[in-house]
């Protein structure tokens, strides 16, 4: 929604307040501090989810929902009760990953009721001030500085910077955890990757991902650097199945051949994770790469799938070995996905991975749909809990430090661990 439209919403709210000004008793406003959410939770898609959580409140209070230009929301209505507010906030807590403003002790930190007539004047003046500022508020200040798109003439400079960095300290690993039965888990495989956010931190004012085609060109260079990083990795216990996020073109590189010769021994296999958008852009190459991998006994995974794209995919024709579906909090409150259940039936329960799994609700939702393999913060915490239970020096570091060190392949931070053999243990 453009700024002018949002400010118009404030004018509508002021107009409504003007109409009840002579007799505001019985009216109230529920004010939702959405601008205090983490940046990822202020994404337009998430804000639509937030609105849905408060639909019940709007109905019960016979209210009207107003999105404000500072990023907050206001619901003007009657007969608000604290229990109504608490119930809506609790549902939002359950359906989202941790956010300090949502997971504080009091619902009032996030959602406040202004009871009229006592607070009418102060609330009215506050809305006037927001409208006069035309959306220039702390909501915008909370966002990270805007970065511009990378230009073609800057690619060589960016590659030079990437070449100067010890890429082995940026390569991370994250386990895909398989549920065997109640309270029994094992590592299905581990994915090795370089996080885009880590790369973007190297550049102050340029978003290397904004220009899709230049970013794709850079990824091919980055793939080679990442594959080379395996040779300097300080891991002693490697999983039998290794997942690598690559562009399809990188399977033809000499660096990939060298990696295969060095690491794919003693029955060790790989899962090459390719992005859904790249598959669509070059279907012939996808089938060629899949054939090459299958000849070596390896697997191909289509990454970046969501429930909507499943409706467009002909999985029987593409016939990937695995797919990775990204969890979205709204799914918990949406109807079951027949397309996802069909994918599980076609590929097998171990071969559909629910990624970005950040809560027990996500895990339960996946199990209900027949999924047994999961990846994300919730599974990372489970894995670290196992490590710390086995570690005699667990008290010497925090859970956060332990998790960070477990994900690294090498570097000073990893070497701070006094029990590396325990840190590397696989479920």
pLDDT, mean over the chain? 81
Do residues 229 and 130 both lie within one domain?
no
Residue 244: the pLDDT is: 95
Contact (CB, 8 A) for 30 and 85: yes
Residue with tokens 């790989």: 270
pLDDT at 63: 78
335-371 pLDDT, tens digit per residue, is 677 888 899 999 999 999 999 998 888 898 899 899 9
Which of 190, 201, 244, 189 has its CA nearest to residue 219? Answer: 244
Residue 150's nearest CA partner among 191, 199, 193, 78 is 199
Shared domain for 127 and 225, answered yes or no, is no
Q: Domain boundary residue among 110, 141, 172?
A: 141
- How much is the pLDDT for 5? 41
pLDDT higher than 60, residue 137: no
pLDDT tens, 391-422?
999 999 999 899 999 998 888 888 899 999 99
Could you tell me if 366 and 399 lie in one domain?
yes
Mean of pLDDT values over 59-68:
78
Do 221 and 86 lie in one domain? The reply is no
Looking at 100-114, 178-192, 288-302, 321-335, which range is the least confident one? 100-114
Q: Where a domain ends, among 106, 141, 176?
A: 141
Residue with tokens 């039965």: 181
List, for residues 208-227, the tens digit of each pLDDT value: 877 878 888 888 889 999 99
pLDDT at 155: 83
pLDDT value of position 6: 42
CA-wise closest residue to 211 among 273, 305, 148: 148
Model pLDDT, residue 7? 56
Tell me: do 108 and 203 sit in the same domain: no
Q: Give the pLDDT score at 323.
A: 97
Peptide bond into 117 cis (omega under 30): yes
Instruction: Examine the fold and report which residue of 116, 141, 166 is the final residue of a domain before the chain moves on.
Output: 141
In angstroms, rounded to a whole number, what is the distance separating the alpha carbons of residues 178 and 116? 54
116 and 177 within one domain: no
In this predicted structure, the answer to whether residue 133 has a pLDDT above a threshold of 50 is yes
Task: Please report which confidence band the pLDDT of residue 93 belongs to, taking 50, 70 and 90 as the band edges.
Answer: low
* 314, 286 contact by CB (below 8 A): no
**pLDDT value at position 383?**
92
CATH of the domain at 8: 3.30.70
Q: What are phi and psi of 108, to 5 degrees?
A: -65, -20
Same domain, 137 and 162: no
pLDDT of 286 > 90? The answer is yes
What is this structure's pTM? 0.67
48 plus 114 within the same structural domain: yes
Region 55-68 average pLDDT: 76
Question: Which of 21-30, 197-206, 314-323 is the most confident on average?
Answer: 314-323
Q: How many domains does the chain have?
A: 2
**Pair (370, 252) in one structural domain:** yes
pLDDT score of 319 more than 90:
yes
* Per-residue pLDDT reduced to its tens digit, 150-177: 788 888 888 888 888 888 778 899 999 9
**CB-CB contact of 82 with 114 (8 Å):** no
Q: What is the CATH number of the domain that holds 190?
A: 3.20.20.450
387-422 burial, b if ≥16 CB within 10 A, otherwise e? bbeebeebeebeeeebbbbbbbbbeeebeebebbeb
Which residue(s) pair with 373 in the sheet?
Answer: 178, 353
One domain, residues 152 and 109: no
Same domain, 121 and 159: no
Indicate whether 339 and 300 sit together in one domain: yes
Domain residues for the domain of 30 are 3-141
DSSP readout, 393-404? TGGGS-HHHHHH
Region for residue 326 given its phi and psi (left: phi exceeds 0; alpha: psi -120 to 50; beta: otherwise): beta
H/E run at residue 275: strand 269-275
Highest mean pLDDT pick, 6-10, 207-211, 328-332: 207-211
The predicted structure's pLDDT at residue 45: 61
CA-derived radius of gyration, the chain: 25
pLDDT for 135 equals 43
């Amino acid at each position: 929604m453009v700024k002018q439209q949002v400010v118009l919403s404030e004018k509508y709210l002021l107009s409504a307040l003007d109409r009840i000004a002579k007799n505001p008793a019985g009216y109230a406003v529920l004010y939702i501090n959405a601008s205090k959410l983490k940046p990822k939770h202020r994404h337009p898609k998430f804000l639509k989810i937030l609105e849905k959580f408060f639909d019940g409140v709007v109905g019960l209070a016979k209210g009207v929902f107003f999105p404000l230009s500072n990023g907050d929301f206001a619901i003007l209505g009657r007969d608000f009760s604290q229990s109504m507010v608490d119930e809506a906030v609790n549902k939002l807590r359950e359906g989202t990953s941790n956010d300090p403003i949502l997971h504080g002790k009091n619902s009032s930190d996030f959602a406040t009721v202004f009871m009229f007539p006592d607070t009418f004047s102060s609330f009215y003046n506050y809305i006037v001030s927001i409208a006069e500022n035309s959306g220039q508020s702390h909501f915008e200040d909370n966002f990270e500085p805007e970065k511009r798109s990378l230009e073609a003439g800057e690619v060589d400079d960016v590659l030079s910077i990437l070449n100067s960095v010890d890429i082995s300290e940026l390569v991370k690993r994250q386990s895909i955890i398989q549920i065997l039965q109640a309270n029994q888990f094992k590592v299905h495989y581990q994915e090795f990757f370089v996080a885009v956010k880590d790369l973007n931190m190297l550049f102050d004012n340029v978003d290397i991902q904004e220009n899709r085609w230049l970013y794709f060109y850079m990824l091919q260079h980055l793939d080679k650097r990442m594959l080379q990083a395996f040779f300097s990795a300080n891991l002693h216990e490697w999983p039998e199945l290794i997942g690598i996020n690559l562009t399809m073109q990188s399977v033809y590189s000499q660096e990939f051949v060298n990696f295969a010769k060095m690491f794919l021994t003693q029955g060790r296999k790989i899962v090459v994770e390719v992005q859904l958008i790249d598959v669509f852009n070059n279907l012939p190459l996808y089938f060629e790469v899949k054939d090459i991998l299958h000849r070596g006994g390896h697997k191909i995974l289509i990454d970046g799938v969501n429930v909507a794209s499943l409706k467009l995919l002909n999985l029987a024709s593409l016939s990937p070995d695995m797919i990775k579906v990204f969890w979205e909090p709204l799914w918990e409150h949406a109807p079951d996905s027949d397309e996802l259940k069909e994918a599980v039936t076609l590929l097998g329960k171990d071969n559909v991975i629910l990624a970005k799994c950040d809560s027990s609700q996500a895990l339960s939702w996946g199990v209900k749909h027949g999924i047994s393999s999961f990846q994300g913060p919730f599974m990372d915490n489970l894995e670290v809990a196992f490590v710390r239970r086995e570690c005699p020096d667990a008290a010497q570091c925090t859970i956060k430090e332990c998790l960070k060190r477990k994900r690294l392949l090498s570097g000073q931070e990893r070497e701070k661990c006094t029990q590396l053999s325990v840190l590397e243990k696989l479920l």
